[in-house]
Structure formats: C-alpha cells, structure tokens
Amino acid sequence: MNSALFQFLNITIIAFVVWLIPLQFIPFLIWLERKGSAFIQDRVGPDRTDVLGFRLFGYIQNFADVVKLLMKEDVIPLQANRFYFLLAPFWSMMFSLIPLMSIPLAGSIHWINTTIHFQVVNLNVGLLFFFSITSMGILGIVLAGWASNNKFSLIGGLRSSAQMISYELSMAMSLITLLVVYQHADFQTIVHEQTGLYHFFGYTMCLPNWGFFLQPIAFLIFLVASFAETNRNPFDLPEGESELVAGYHVEYSSIKFALFFMSEYANMVVVSFLNVSLFWGGYEVPYVSTAQLIQSPRIVLLVLSGIIFIMGLLVFVVLFRHGWKQRTLYNGVKKWEPFLLGTGMAFIGLIFLILIPFWLHWNFPAWFPLALTALVQFGCLIIKVVFFCWLFVWVRWTLPRFRYDQLMNLGWKIMLPIAMLNFLVTSIFVILK
Amino acid sequence: MTNPLNPENYEATGLEFQAENTQSNLTFVNLGPSHPATHGTLRALCALEGETIVAAVTEIGYLHRGFEKDAEVHTYQQVIPYTDRLNYVSAIMNNVGWCKAIERMLEITIPPRAVYIRVLTSELNRIIDHLVCVGANLVDIGGLSNFWYTFNVREKVYDILEKLCGARLTSSYMRLGGVAHDLYEGFENDLKVVLKEIWQSVKQFSKLNNNKIFLNRTRNICVVPKEMAIAYGWTGPTLRASGINYDLRKEEPYYCYPDLEFEVPVGTIGDIYDRIFVRMLEIEESIHMIEQLLKKIPTGPVFTEDKRVALPPKTQTYGNIEGLMNHFKLIIHGVCPDQGEIYDVTESANGELGFYVISDGGKNPYRVKCRPPCFMNFAAYHEMIEGHLIADAIANLGSINIIAGELDR
C-alpha cells in the first residue's frame, strides 16, 4: 500500500476516534456526576427514564436530556451582541475537542514496513500546543459573559478570565518543570520516558517511573490548577450558581447552553488526559513495557479474561444480593438489569477461562499481538482518565466554593511561588546531574 | 415605572449618591427578587465596585400575603392555619406563639400534658429550622452535599410529625386550649431513634471545623457587633451569635422551660461562623431538652375543659340544651375574648416571635400585628454586606435565616 495514503488513512481514522473520545465521555461523565453525587449525598440518582425497559442504571437519562435541550426554545436576548453570542458556545466546544489531537492513545506499532501511530499529530511542541489550545477555550467564556449583555454573566466572564490567567501561570510553571525533567515537549517521548522503574539517586525503587514520583509538587500544583482551569468546584466562580445565578451562561438556553455544559465536561476529559500523560505514565501499563506486551499475548489474554471473570462475579454477587433485597424499583418495575449485566460478564469471563486449553496453543496471526497491545494500552489510558474524572466529581460534591479574593490569594501568593521554587530546585538538580 | 438603574432615580430607590458617584465605575446589580440564593423573594440592589459591594438597598414585600389583614376577618381559631405559613419551616412554633397569646388573653391555663407536648414539638421544630437554615447556608457557600446531610434527618423528623399531625410542613397542630390530639402510640420510640440520628448528624457537622475553605468563607465575614445587633432589635440565634446571652426561654420563662435544664449557646464576635455554630449547638440543647421532656411528660388530658374554647363532649351536645348552645356558639361565633389588647412573645427558631392582638370583644380580632424575627434581621442586611464581596453577601443571607413567608407576612 502506498505509504502516503496509508498515513493519511491512519491519521484520519485516529482523528475521528480522538474526536469521538470526549464526545463519548460527556454522557458518561454526566452519568458519573449524577450517580456519584447521589452516592455522596445518600440519594438514589436518576433511575426512571427507560427505553424499552432498559435504563442502564440511569444512563438513559442523558438521552432524555438531549431531546429536551434540543426541543427547548432557543432565546437570544435582544440586547445581546448576536454574532459573539452565537460564536461563544461553539468556540468553547471547539477548543475543548482539539487539544486531544496531540495525545498518544497507545504506543506506535511497527508492522511490516509501516508504522501505525495512535496519535493524530506527533508535534515536537505537543505540550505547548496543548497548552495554547486549552487557553483559547477561555475566550468562549469571556465572549459569552460579555455578549449576553447581562451583569451577572459579565461578572462571571470577568471572574473566569482573571481566574484562568492566574492559574494558567502556576500550571505553566509546573509543566515547565516537567519539560526540564524530560527535556522534550512531545507527548510520545514524555510517555515513553515513563516506562520502567523509578530510579532515585541510583537506587531502583519498586515504583513505576511516572512523572508523579519524579515531580510530586508539580503534580499537586497541576491538579489544583486543572480544577481552576475547568471551572469546577471549588473553583466554579464563573458559574457561581448561588451567587451569579448561572454566571457566564445565564442567558443561554436550549442546545447552546448544552454546548457550554458539554464543553465543561469535555474540558475535564482533556485535562485528565493531559494529567495522565504527564504524570501517570499515559497509556503505559505499569511495570510492563510495550515490547513485553507484544511478546506475550497469551499471558495478556489470560489476565484479561481473569479480570473480566472476577469483575463479572463481583458485579453479579454485589448486585444480585443488592437486587434480591430491593428488587422492586417503583410502580412494581423489577430490577433485572443488574442480573443480566452480572451474569453476562461472569459468563463471558468463564467461557474465556474454560477455553484456555484451546487458545493457549493457537498460533496467533502476526497482527494479533500488536492489536492486542494497542487495545490494552488504550484501555489502561482510559481507566486512568476515568479515575481522574471521578476525582473531579468527588471534589465537586465535597468542598465548598472559594471566594474570589481567596482564590486569587491561593493562585498568586501560594501556588505560583511554590511552583517557581519547585522549578528552580529541579533546574539546579538537573544541571548538577 | 421607575427604572432603578437610571441615574435620575437613585433617590427613588434609596441610593442617594453624589453626582460624581453616578459618573464613576459602579455597577448596579439586583440580587433578587428572583435569585437562587434569596430563599424566597427578596431584593437587594447593590452598587458594586469590582466585586465589592459599596452600597446596598434592600426591598421586601414580594411575598406579602396580608396575614394581618386576613386575621382580622377570621375567627381566632381560623387564624391558626395562617400562622403555619409565617415561618413555614417551623410551623408548629408559630401555632404555639399564636395560641399562647390568645390563651393569655382569655386567661386560660392549658393542662400540663398539653404544655409538654407543645414544648416538645416546638423543640423538634427548632431542630428542623436550624437544620434547614444551616444546610441551605452551606449550599450558598457552595457545599451542596451538606444540604442532604441535614435534610435527610429533617425528613425523618417530618415523618414523625406527619404521623403525629397528619401533615408534614403546615401541621396546624395547636388549638386554642391545647393540642389537636394526643401523642400516638410508639411516639417515644420513633423519636428516640431520630434523636440519635440528629445527634450523629450534628457531630458529623462539627467536622466542618477542619475544612479550611469553609472557615475562610465564614470567619470574620459580615461581623455584627453587639451594639449593632441590639440597635437593629435582633433576637434569637443571630443576637446570641453576637455575644449577647438573651433567650426568652431563660429571661421570661414560659410553659415548662423553667423545669428543663439547658444552656444558651452564645457566640463571640457575630460572624457567619458564629451564627452557623450557635444554631448547631442549639440543636444539641434541643435534643437534651426533648430527652428531659420525654422523661417528665405527665399523663392526663391534652385539652382544657374551659367552655370558652373547648367543644363539649358529644353526649352533652346531644343530651342537654347547655351543651348544645355551647357547641353552637363555639362553632358559629368562635372564641370571643373580652375587649382588650395583648402582646405575647415566644422564642421561635429565628428569635422573638410576637403577636400583638387587639380584641373589641367580637369573634374576630380587631387588629393583629405580628413581630417576625427575621424582619429585624433583614433590616440590618444592607449594613452587614456593605464593604464585603457578593459571595459574602450571599453567604450572609443564609446565615441570618430569612424566611420570606415570615418576613413579608
């Protein structure tokens, strides 16, 4: 196959996948937020909406929301600046979808004479590209705040611009520290550097060589700043629900409001991807390198089927016991989905395990280990990202909101000096090394 | 219609700024009447410099239902359900306030069991009111989960009240001369279970002291010194948070409060933190009081036998002419106190709830004036928030516990 054509196809397909990831994450995160907050607040959460009896633990609620938001009347205030008012939500959404293009989803695969990249563009300034694009997203919020011609939204927009600029500084300082450590700005290399074990002054520790262990302070600063960047509680001042009604999107309705809503969640995903790629080894499976994964597909399959079986068993046991006690949801509707899911998962895992003697001696085709490795690494990345998305949800429903001046104090007087000091110390160490 | 944002109308809306101020960079923002944090419909017109409120004017009346006028065209007994709607979070305490005033006017003493039930349900309502206030206040600060931690317990108290009175929110449990009906069987056990849960919830709540963001948001914010609190006529938890030990249950003891051992929690400086934690400590005291009340509660009737308010038993009504006449007069004319006037107060959850009633000897009150505690609290609002940020103003509004139903009557 023509190598140029192959590369074009490769990039197109991966770009499509990368574009779909945040979009697919959004309903999942909304579901996670609803069920997570319900779990934290001793509630049940959404469990009524269903399609043909399937309610998928409340996941179907998202579809109802989409339909509702699409059907709603779309109000544009007369006094608003129409062009910018319309531009703002699309701007926000667009710039929360683009940055992922520079994140590698799995290790590159060499097959026959070609290399398949699981990354749209391998920029040598990937980190800077990422950072500059996420900064552009702020403009959407500021535009919305200004164009709505509403005082609450204007204050929200002002707050967001001040907040994001202050926190971007400390975020940038913590990332610059990483640049000093890795000496590279492209994500492929950064992720690749994090394989193997952690070496601490010549001693090999039993920890993976992740950015978190190299730069814990930078990670903490990055984490706090990422909350501020995504406008999530305790830094959700631009929205400030109880203070500014809804902040910058107070005048938005229908699907334009939904775009802001979605861009918030997409931002969470994007920041989590960045976080994982920089500090938690990206797609790397801890303790296992890409080469090892490719060499031993049988062990990988064995472990995977074991995990599926145990998970299915757990889901089965927990949900079955739970469901047995309160089988009736409401109006006499029976809770049968947990049974189906649990038994299904356990059954698939069991079949895999039973068939061990058969597939252990199969001769896999040459592409199989490569594809399996990519899938496993991608799955590992997604699991890590989901964890950090859950962290966002967890913190949101746990902490109260900062006040504007306290937020500024934290950003300028505490985080920025610490980040700079961290940068200084790290640089000295790197030079001395 | 005057436009409050038009510089010519500042005087009309109460913002008397100098000419140079109107040319400055002040932003005028209406917090309310419809705003997620106003707990009803209130309006605070704020002049902002950046995010700091340099001047504020408050306006009330958006929820005015004409309680006082309504009372003039209803009999004394018919007013009781209207008092439910004053502070709808602690409806029974308003019932008690009204009934106590009218009973004092009629010079009726109610049986001891009725007194104990009144105090007991009042203290339960005080717990509910404080839980709602604190939970909602934390929502304003941004901690949404606390709302459920306080409201889940409240729901359980409401379950008991529902069993007791048949209604959850507006219970109308009190009658002139006693209570509507006796405690149900198993009330004590139900209550003990719930008290334990409230206790746990309060203990859990005190862990907020470890939350740095919460402390930063509430400590030394919107401080009300003693003098200011007195000058504005504050009562109740908000006054005590400012450091003044004044509680009507101690100062002018009524009902069985002298028999109960309890302390009055007092704050130190009168900031939002104090106002929140005075309420939480009051919940603890109320729990102690309910435990004592459950031990001491006497047996006996729950309604007075005074013919002026009590319907005669059915045998009397159908058996002799006096009973029939009594029944007829009470149903048709209602209670008719002698000519005179009275002002009577109770310590409700928000503070001193007073009813000033003038009787001309007829079946309806000639005039009723209700002294709602949060009216005084809200009067000080504009002064409290001046010089603070918008976020503080919102947090403060929750801490002085404005219930618009009581404020606007």
CB within 8 Å: A41 and B148? yes
Partner-chain contact A151 B214, CB within 8 Å:
no
φ, ψ for residue A205, nearest 5 deg: -90, 165
Q: In what order do the strands lie in the sheet with B27-31?
A: B27-31, B43-49, B52-59
pLDDT score of A421: 92
State which residues of chain A have pLDDT below 50: none
Least CB-CB distance to A404: which of B28, B143, B391? B391
User: Among A91, A125, A103, A85, which residue's Cα sits nearest to residue A22?
Assistant: A103
pLDDT at A335: 62
What is the C-alpha radius of gyration for chain A, rounded to an integer number of angstroms? 24
Shortest CA gap B144–chain A (Å): 6
Determine contact, residues A46/A32, Cβ cutoff 8 Å: no
Instruction: State the number of CA atoms in the 13 A half-sphere of A405 facing the CB.
Output: 10
CB-count burial class (<10 Å; 0-12, 13-18, 19+) for A92: buried
Mark yes or no for CB contact A41/B37 under 8 Å.
no
pLDDT at B176: 87
CA–CA–CA angle A409, A414, A416 (5° rounding): 100
- What residues of B are in contact with residue A234 (Cβ under 8 Å)? 142, 213
Please state the three-class secondary structure of chain B as a single string: CCCCCCHHHHHHHCCCCCHHHHCCCCEEEEECCCCCCCCCCCEEEEEEECCEEEEEEEECCCCCCCHHHHHHCCCCCCHHHHHHCCCHHHHHHHHHHHHHHHHHHHCCCCCHHHHHHHHHHHHHHHHHHHHHHHHHHHHHHCCCHHHHHHHHHHHHHHHHHHHHHCCCCCCCCEECCEECCCCCCCHHHHHHHHHHHHHHHHHHHHHHHHCHHHHHHHCCCCCCCHHHHHHCCCCHHHHHHCCCCCCHHHHCCCCCHHHCCCCCCCCCCCCHHHHHHHHHHHHHHHHHHHHHHHHHCCCCCCECCCCCCCCCCHHHHHHCHHHHHHHHHHHHCCCCCCCEEEEEEEECCCCEEEEEEEECCCCCCCEEEEECHHHHHHHCHHHHHCCCEHHHHHHHHHHCCCCHHHHHC
- Cβ <8 Å between A151 and B27: yes
Whole-model pTM: value is 0.83
Cα of A419 to nearest chain B Cα, Å: 21
State whether A155 and B216 contact (CB < 8 Å): no
Q: At residue B196, what is the residue type?
A: K
- Return the pLDDT at A281: 81
Provide residues of B within 8 Å CB-CB of chain A.
27-29, 35-37, 48, 51, 138-145, 147-149, 152, 211, 213-214, 216-217, 389-392, 394
HSE value, Cβ hemisphere, 13 Å, CA-based, for B327: 13
Interchain pair A401, B143: CB under 8 A: yes
Return the residue in B213, B218, B221, B271 with the most chain A beta carbons within 10 A, the one to mutate for interface testing: B213
- Note the ipTM here: 0.78
Of A43, A151, A404, the CB nearest to B389: A404
Q: Which residues of A touch B (CB under 8 A)?
A: 37, 40-43, 151-152, 155, 159, 233-234, 236, 240-245, 397-406
* CB pair distance less than 8 Å for A400 and B148: no
Q: How close does chain A come to B394, measured CA to CA in Å?
A: 6
**Considering only CB atoms, which chain B residues are within 8 Å of A235?**
none
Helix axes A254-279, A82-97, angle to 10 degrees: 30
Contact yes or no for B213 and A397 at CB 8 A: no
- The whole-number mean pLDDT for each consecutive block of 10 residues of chain B, a chain of 409 residues, reads 51 47 70 78 83 84 86 89 87 90 89 90 91 88 84 88 87 86 87 89 84 87 88 89 88 86 88 90 91 89 85 86 88 85 89 90 88 88 86 87 84
Cis peptide before A417, with omega less than 30 degrees from 0?
Answer: no
Residue of B nearest to A246 (CA): B36
Strand partners, A110: A115
Q: What is the CA radius of gyration of chain B?
A: 23
- In b/e form, how buried is each residue of B198-223, taking b as 16+ CB within 10 angstroms? beebbeebeebeeeebbebbbeebbb
- What are the Cα distances from residue A157, in Å, to A83, A146, A332, B142? 17, 7, 48, 19
CA distance B152 to chain A (A): 8
Of the candidates B144, B145, B391, the beta carbon closest to that of A403 is on: B391
Q: Please tell me the distance in Å from B274's CA to the nearest CA on chain A.
A: 18
